[in-house]
Structure 1
């Protein structure tokens, strides 16, 4: 122990390093629904099952083309999803587009919006070279056609 006078004499030379607290956090300030991670979804409040379903559906789609598609995800908390829709941004450059004239059968059948029409697309593209002509021949429901158009290259 030193005296108060000695402390005052040495005080200008004393440097005490403050402990550095680094918090590794995946908190999302401005989430993007096409890049948000499992951890970020969990931090946002989704349970493991919902976060996994979200990521699985996004992968099958090749990215979300509309924020509202989140609501189509199985096991999703609708209220939390609506909150994410309001707060999230969407980077459409992350969405994988499909060229129905050249895409392979497994890709078409693996995509949630193309799967029902995959066989028809494959059949019609052998004789038709225009995407619009193929789309007309599909006789798709208007809502289905709208979703297909989101992913059409």
Structure 2
């Protein structure tokens, strides 16, 4: 390559680089910043699009911590033992009480207790169908002998819980927890309610119906 041609090529490349640099700066400066309440809906829509696409790269993004949670992030149930003659309360029953139910021996009694601990408590008896091995026929055998006291459900504060705390719940998981946390952070108040999550389609009605028992 002749020197004149090389010098011409270098000059052309340099000029192109300078032009691209200033175009990039202009584009970055023109990006919208969502500060006012009138722009919150647009920010929410952009966030929803992120949630829809982030499932494709699930696991590649580092977990974002939302700081140190408050001490009341998890609400501990009050301590008392409910009593209804002839019936078993599913959130306080031990294995000795559960084995009295028709079709429930020591094996299934332990499975119910373990699942109850992982779930945080039962809101309705039908949730026993989520326990491996318990089907409709087995549940119908003792359905009229059990009830649930929802005050014993272990609840987590929706507005102070970390991503890890939300993700640990059986009904939420990592992806949905990440969506909830980032949606919460995108709002001016830094807080949200179950109604907000449904209205802005972070949760479906079906998801909210199940999750609402475990959040406050």
Distance, in Å, in 2 between the alignment partners of 1:89 and 1:103 is: 29
Find out whether 1:81 has 2:127 as its counterpart: no
Q: How is 1:1-153 mapped onto 2 (pairs within 5 angstroms)?
A: 29-44=86-101, 45-115=103-173, 116-128=175-187, 129-131=191-193, 132-153=195-216
Provide the aligned length of Structure 1 versus Structure 2: 126
- Mark the CA change 1:75 to 1:137 in structure 2 (over 3 Å): closer, same or farther: same
SS at match of 2:88: coil
* Length-normalised TM-score, structure 2: 0.51
Distance, in Å, in 2 between the alignment partners of 1:86 and 1:134 is: 35
The CA RMSD measured in Å over matched residues stands at: 2.2
SS at match of 1:43: coil
SS at match of 1:112: coil
- Mark the CA change 1:103 to 1:138 in structure 2 (over 3 Å): closer, same or farther: farther
SS at match of 2:141: helix
After superposing on structure 2, the runs of 4+ consecutive aligned residues of structure 1 that deviate more than 6 Å are none
Distance, in Å, in 1 between the alignment partners of 2:135 and 2:197 is: 37
- Whether the aligned pair in 2 keeps the contact of 1:53 and 1:75 (CA below 8 Å) is no
Deviation, structure 1 residue 106 = 2.7
* Structure of higher RCO (CA pairs closer than 8 Å, 6+ residues apart): 2
- Whether the aligned pair in 1 keeps the contact of 2:179 and 2:202 (CA below 8 Å) is no
* Length-normalised TM-score, structure 1: 0.70
- Whether the aligned pair in 2 keeps the contact of 1:100 and 1:152 (CA below 8 Å) is yes
CA deviations 1:46-90 (Å, max 9, x no partner) are 133322221122112211111211111112253232233322121
